[in-house]
Homo-oligomer: A and B are copies of this chain.
Amino acid sequence: MIIIDLQSRIPIYEQIKEQVIKLVNCGVYKPGEQLPSIRALSKELKLNVNTVKRAFIELEADGVVYSLQGRGVFVSETAINNTKVHDDAIRNLEIAVNSAVSKGISREEIDTLLNSIFKEGEKDDRN
């Protein structure tokens, strides 16, 4: 379910975080539901346990999951429509847009990009 790009400059634990959030937002994992164990996940993704653990520590701090010793990791009730995740996403997007604008990217180009991204998304939804 989770795909890691080892070549990416985005840290692996960030990639895990992002994809877990995505899976929760897509409804693959629902609040209260148990997630795969960090050991199972680290084995599946061929990563060190600590790398996966790091992702889950941050997901827990962000209120997306909670972990119970000896029992496992579960999706928290506040996972969907999570304010911290939302606000972070908006802030990052703002920085990225400002950076693009200062490099000469026009509003038209951004709209074209958005159209192609959201068109792509609709296709996925049909599946």
Contact = CB atoms under 8 A, between A and B. Distances in A.
Contacts of A58: 61
A73 to B, nearest CB: 12
Interface string A95-109: 111111111110101
Given A102-B22, A103-B86, A110 B93 contact: yes
B93 A105 contact: yes
A7 interface: yes
A68 B104 contact: no
Label chain A's interface by main secondary structure: helix
A52 to B, nearest CB: 14
A1 interface: no
A85 interface: yes
A58 B61 CA distance: 9
B100 A113 contact: no
